[in-house]
């Protein structure tokens, strides 16, 4: 699976069911392993207010489906 495939999926928390946003970036370890995914909330008026990015580690990802990525945070 490619990063571009992951970027089109919504990230949803299985704890409370809310949409967290979409993957906008990936942080890698020096050996090339994924350290965490950077999730940015989808906002209509993004230019108002500050960006509240969320970092999701591989351990927190529970399921990658066709349309969504389920995370436990």
Residue 39: give its domain's CATH number: 2.30.30.240
Give the β-pairing of 61-64 and 54-56: unpaired
- Residue 3: per-residue pLDDT: 85
Write out pLDDT tens, residues 1-39: 888 999 999 999 999 999 999 999 999 999 999 999 999
Full residue range of the structural domain in which residue 23 is found = 3-71
Task: Calculate the average pLDDT of the chain.
Answer: 89
- In the chain, how many domains are there? 1
Residues with Cβ within 8 Å of residue 34, at least 6 apart in sequence: 26, 27, 28, 58
Side-by-side strand order, sheet with 10-13:
54-56, 34-40, 19-28, 10-13, 68-71, 61-64
| pLDDT tens for each residue of 43-65 | 655 555 556 889 999 999 999 99
- In this prediction, residue 25 carries a pLDDT of 93
Mark out the alpha helices in 1-73 (DSSP H runs): 3-7
Whether the full predicted model's pTM is greater than 0.85, yes or no, is no
């Amino acid at each position: 699976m490619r990063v571009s495939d992951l970027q089109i999926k919504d990230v949803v928390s299985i704890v409370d069911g809310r949409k967290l946003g979409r993957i906008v970036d990936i942080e890698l370890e020096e050996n090339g392993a994924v350290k965490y995914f950077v999730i940015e909330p989808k906002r209509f008026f993004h230019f108002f207010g500050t960006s509240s990015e969320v970092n999701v580690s591989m351990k927190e990802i529970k399921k990658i489906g066709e349309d969504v990525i389920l995370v436990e945070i």
